[in-house]
Copies of this chain bind each other. A is one copy, B any other.
Amino acid sequence: MTSPVGLHRVLAPGGVLPQAAQRLDNAERIASDEVRVRVERLNLDAASFRQLATKHGGDGAAVRAEVLAIVEARGKMHNPVTGSGGMLIGTVEEVGPDSPLGLKVGDRIATLVSLTLTPLKVTDGLCRWDGTGEQVPCDGYAILFGRSIAAVLPDDLAGELALAVLDVCGAPALTDRVVRRYDRAAVAVIGGAGKSGSLSLAAARRAGARTVGVVPNDRERDLLTRAGLADAVALADARDPVALSEAVKQALGGPADVTVVCVDVPGCEHGAILSTADGGTVIFFSMATSFSAAALGAEGLAADVTMLIGNGYLPGHAEFALDLLRAEPAVRNVFTARLAAD
């Protein structure tokens, strides 16, 4: 009997789920409820790539060597420092007779579960990747479990664009759900010019919110202003709690009902809490979020705010995000500009 959550692929330590595992079994042969995917491209998580690039001072060859070493050692792309992974696209190569995922051989798909729990084997030494960007051309294979989530790539969108959207598709879906709990919410999206940020801004506006997008520099301010995705655009360093909260309050005429943290740098917890009204909600999507900084920070500020760990899964999240991209040319413009810059 194999496990729908992949317990049978955990090599060490025993008893944990694949994401918590030190090492997964990436054997090519699939169980009856598994699917094997021929990998075409890995999309590294932004926090993970940034950590690797910083550690190696931008030396792409060293970054590539470390990614290869991680996958070799762990049987999955799971950055041990950031704890994060990313996702992949590829083509379905074999489908076990008991797989519940509804995929068929030849489908071009993106995985919507993290690389941190996906058995992966790289077979080309990542020779087509220069190590200087998050998009990693790759030959190899990956395994999906019975309960893994994957989306067939839409025909009407370029693969790279669809992948970038699917990578962050939990953010707009959860933003939508939370914003609808408030009456005409005031929403601040920290990192509003990024991928998850721009989708979250579009979702918040569609859910009836007034919005401000906060960005760290003139370039992103211009990008977001041109896109017209937010009612206001504010410039602030998210790591400076007072500067951030003042920028938000000035733009919204008061603190935010919902603050969405989409910047992948550490130290944004206190500013996000200070920017949020009592009774409000902070959604942390950044993998650089510190649990204890958030918990102790809110207590220390006597802030009665609900703090959510951004769950990357909601039912229908992939279609929701792809529909936002299709319906909002401004979102597509931001993504196109981002992808061109990568």
| Interface of A toward B, CB cutoff 8 Å | 5, 7, 15-20, 82-85, 112-114, 116-117, 147-149, 170, 239-243, 267, 270, 274, 284, 287, 289-315
**Chain B proximity of A143: nearest CB distance (Å):** 13
Expressed in whole angstroms, the Cα–Cα distance for A199 and B150 within the complex equals 41
Expressed in whole angstroms, the Cα–Cα distance for A312 and B58 within the complex equals 40
Expressed in whole angstroms, the Cα–Cα distance for A312 and B82 within the complex equals 26
**Chain B proximity of A287: nearest CB distance (Å):** 5
Q: Are A147 and B291 in contact (CB under 8 A)?
A: no
Given contacts A287-B295, A291-B289, contact A302 B147 (CB under 8 A): yes
Q: Chain B residues near A149 (CB, 8 Å)?
A: 299, 302
Expressed in whole angstroms, the Cα–Cα distance for A60 and B243 within the complex equals 43
Expressed in whole angstroms, the Cα–Cα distance for A296 and B45 within the complex equals 12
Q: Chain B residues near A243 (CB, 8 Å)?
A: 15
**Chain B proximity of A128: nearest CB distance (Å):** 27
Q: Chain B residues near A312 (CB, 8 Å)?
A: 295-296, 298-299
Q: Chain B residues near A239 (CB, 8 Å)?
A: 15-16
Given contacts A267-B16, A290-B291, A292-B82, contact A307 B305 (CB under 8 A): no
Of B240, B242, B284, B307, which is within 8 A of A311 by CB?
B307
16 A-B residue pairs with CB within 8 Å: A17-B270, A113-B300, A113-B302, A114-B300, A117-B296, A147-B302, A149-B302, A284-B291, A290-B291, A291-B309, A296-B312, A302-B313, A303-B313, A304-B313, A304-B315, A306-B308
Of B291, B308, B313, which is within 8 A of A299 by CB?
B313
Contacts A117-B300, A296-B312, A299-B311 aside, 14 further interface pairs with beta carbons under 8 A come to: A15-B239, A16-B241, A17-B270, A19-B270, A19-B296, A20-B267, A83-B293, A84-B296, A114-B300, A116-B300, A298-B312, A299-B312, A307-B309, A309-B309
**Chain B proximity of A33: nearest CB distance (Å):** 14
Q: Chain B residues near A18 (CB, 8 Å)?
A: 300
Specify the chain B residue showing the minimal Cβ separation from A18.
Answer: B300
Of B116, B295, B314, B315, which is within 8 A of A309 by CB?
B295
